[in-house]
Amino acid sequence: MRHVLAALRFACAALALAAACARPAAAAPECIVPAKPGGGFDLTCKLAQRALLEAGFTEQPVRLAYMPGGIGAVAYNSIVAQRPAEPDTIVAFSDGSLLALAQGKFGKYGAADVRWVGALGTDYGVIAVRADSPFKTLKDLVAALRSDPDQVLFGAGGTIGNQDWMKAAMVARQAGVGYKRMRFVGFEGGGEAFTALQGGHVQAVSGDASEAAMQLGAGGIRILAVLAAQRLPGRLAGVPTAREQGFDIVWPILRGFYMGPKVAQADYQRWAERFERLQASPAFARLRAEQGLFPADLGGADLDTYVQRTVQRYRTLAKEFGLTR
């Protein structure tokens, strides 16, 4: 009898092992970068990829998928219409995404059509030029715009009306130059804009502090101003704010993630808790600082509230610049 029981146990163990071997490995979570490589969305997904793995929240690195188009519109529409219930797909967003939503640039979908799950950090706008530019300060750039708007061509990731365009338009407004008179060329992501700057194709870039900090390491650019309420610590500590130079321009940029509208509550909550625990981790604080980002304690319902209020504020700003009625 003992031999029979032992044989049965062996057979059951063998069947269990075979079933386990036949079971496909769980797919790696995916982070969608809604732009080409090299910009702020790319940075956001790569930071999450590293932080989640090092914290033990994912068993394998988050897979990055690049989905450029419409400065986020293609990815947004894809998640809402075609991939609404994927439990392990997150999509990077920034305040630029919220500005686009405020202007209806994501088509028929609005801010309530996805699930805003968590934030990684806050970035800030910057105004940058080539290292050999004659513009040494933001005052120099504003003076040149006031003298002749045609001598300054702004470059940025995005199109007319997006957040980088808005930063440039706010600088031009300080010079008394209307947004219709300002010269601007848009690129598919901040990485392309900085490449154009270093190639001499544009005279200034209105971008993000985190992107600009990466570019500083390679040399070739000078940051004229950070668009923060006060100086930023770290690598940009030596860069004055626009306010210090007499121009009241502040532009914070939240960086985080959303998920599809039909993601199960348990899966949504699992991801929200991951980002919440990251925000409380000293190890993540160091990673975040390395990327030039600052704390942003927002997630779940609090993040959703922030998004809805910010979209409404941006609708008002867009009307001021004649972008919407």
* Amino acid letter, residue 215: Q
User: pLDDT of the chain along its 325 residues, tens only?
Assistant: 444 444 444 444 444 444 434 444 557 899 999 998 877 899 899 999 999 999 999 989 999 999 998 879 999 999 999 999 999 999 999 998 999 899 898 999 999 999 999 999 998 999 999 999 999 999 999 999 999 999 999 999 878 888 899 999 999 999 999 888 999 999 877 888 998 999 999 999 999 888 887 777 677 899 999 999 999 888 888 999 999 999 999 999 999 999 999 999 999 999 999 999 999 999 999 999 888 788 888 888 899 999 999 999 999 988 888 887 7
* CA gap 66, 39 in Å, rounded: 11
Half-sphere exposure at residue 177, Cβ-oriented, CA atoms within 13 angstroms: 24
pLDDT of residue 23: 42
**Could you give the residue range(s) of every CATH 3.40.190.150 domain in the chain?**
30-122+253-320
| CATH 3.40.190.10 domain range(s) in the chain | 124-252
185: tokens are 């060329």
Structure tokens at 180: 């219709």
CATH topology assigned to domain 30-122+253-320? D-Maltodextrin-Binding Protein; domain 2 (3.40.190)
**Which residue type does 267 have?**
D
Tokens, residue 66: 């690049």
Task: Please answer whether residues 256 and 93 qualify as being in contact, where contact means their C-beta atoms are separated by less than 8 angstroms.
Answer: yes
What the block records as the tokens of 8 is: 């049965």
| Residue 165 C-alpha from the chain's centroid | 16
C-alpha span between 85 and 79 (Å, rounded): 8
CA distances from 279 to 88, 108, 154, 285 (A): 20, 33, 35, 7
Task: Label each residue of 67-114 as H, E or C.
Answer: CCCHHHHHHHHHHHHCCCCCCCEEEEEEHHHHHHHHCCCCCCCCHHHC
Distance CA 10, CA 18 (A): 12
Give the CATH fold of the 124-252 domain. D-Maltodextrin-Binding Protein; domain 2 (3.40.190)
Six-digit token pair at 26? 């769980």
Q: Are the beta carbons of 201 and 212 closer than 8 angstroms?
A: no
Task: Give the SS3 label for residue 39.
Answer: coil
